[in-house]
Amino acid sequence: MASQSTADKDALDTQAVNNFREYLRIPTVHPNINYDACVKFLENQAKSLDLPIKVYHVVPKKPIVIITWTGTEPTLPSILLNSHMDVVPVFEEKWTHKPFAADLDEQNNIYARGSQDVKCVGIQYLEAVRRLKRDGVTLKRTLHVSFVPDEETGGVDGMKQFVYTKDFQNLNVGMGLDEGMPSSSEKFAMFNAERNIWHLIIHCPGKPGHGSLLLDNTAGEKVAYLLNKFYNFRKQEQQKLKDNSNLTLADVTTVNLTQMSGGVQTNVIPPEFIITFDCRITPQHDIKKWQETIDQWCKEAGPGVWIEYEQKEDQVTPTKLDNSNPYWLAFKDATDKLGLKVKPVTCPGGTDARFVRMVGIPAIGFSPINNTPLLLHNHDEYLGVDTFLKGIKIYCKILVSIGNVEEKTE
């Protein structure tokens, strides 16, 4: 007969998996998300944990949900455990399981959109808190478990605005923990910085006319000049990766042409072409110089070329990973004691952690997922039950460590 402690553990594991699958079945999928069912689910979770919950609305119909576990020294700066509720669209015909059914297969894998990105992390936070509370653990610092909207569309109506509100300031956040990235190896990726996102919409006006003519100052000539400049730069960044095996994608700046528009018919030279670039700028790349470079390219391309910025982020200082950051030391101490191989890297994409760093708060991105194929935004996204449950244990150790960081004195 199983011992009581084993029975309790099995019951907690079953509850955690059930909660995870229930959360995954809520289709908070873009576009036009209704977050009501998600908020209701989180209200039930807070009730089961006997913890208070608050729902903030910086933007109507875009709730920010925060469940709070108050520490024994609540005046100390708190820890923010953040994840996002929204998920990217699916192409259901490409899936072997229904993307919002949270099916459990014979290999004990849970298939669903959001299983890796990033509903797993939100539930793992809560289940770690559940275990710590059950074991009578207390933390000095308050933990705020936040669930935010619209991260997958840039965080514009979520964390990006929330960090500048009085409600966020009242949380007294000292350190943020956010999502990382699954790893296909034994190592875990850990983000302390992110590339800055610039989305450039470049307008190239020119002289219109009949398609049989050789006019000067056409829109097409300007596009050709700019494409040549951007793609030569792109090749230089690709070469950096080829020349140095220690570099990762996040260590270089990427530019990709993602949209082109203009023209009405084949025999008419149009008055304008518009080209759009997705640009991700590494922290090592001086943003001021990059701005000067692309402005110069536009000037050289010809008269009238101008840039519309769909998104343009300022350079953000990476979170320090040295003795000056007690939260990093506490995080590292926990992962070292667990024997985890953690590799600090720059996030190649973008997460809500960048907005926390923007207001001067150190933030670490970490998802306790290794030995798992990277399936973010891909078909048949899944997470193994064993990996999910192991992640809860990892968070238990991390939360105790960062939640008991001594007050920093100058």
Q: Which tokens hold the place of 410?
A: 């100058």
C-alpha distances in angstroms, 361 versus 193, 319, 401? 12, 8, 18
Q: Which among 86, 178, 313, 381 is annotated as catalytic? A: 86
State the pairing for strand pair 254-262/272-281.
antiparallel
Q: Which among 151, 152, 178, 179 is annotated as catalytic? A: 151
Is residue 151 annotated as part of the catalytic site, yes or no?
A: yes
HSE-CB for 130 with a 13 A CA cutoff: 21
Q: Identify whether 362 is preceded by a cis peptide bond (ω within 30 of 0).
A: no
Is residue 221 annotated as part of the catalytic site, yes or no?
A: no
Give the burial string for 19-53 (b: 16+ CB within 10 Å, else e). bbbebbebbbbeeebebeebbebbeebbeebebeb
Residue 65 CA to residue 148 CA, distance in Å, equals: 6
Spell out the SS3 assignment of 315-326.
Answer: CCCCCCCCCCCH
Helix (H) or strand (E) holding 79: strand 78-84
C-alpha distances in angstroms, 184 versus 4, 106, 138, 224, 384? 36, 21, 34, 40, 13
Closest CA to 180 of 364, 390, 388: 364
Closest CA to 225 of 305, 311, 308, 287: 305
Residue 347 CA to residue 318 CA, distance in Å, equals: 11
State the pairing for strand pair 306-312/268-269.
unpaired
Residue 124 CA to residue 122 CA, distance in Å, equals: 6
Q: Which tokens hold the place of 384?
A: 């193994």
Active site residues per annotation: 86, 151
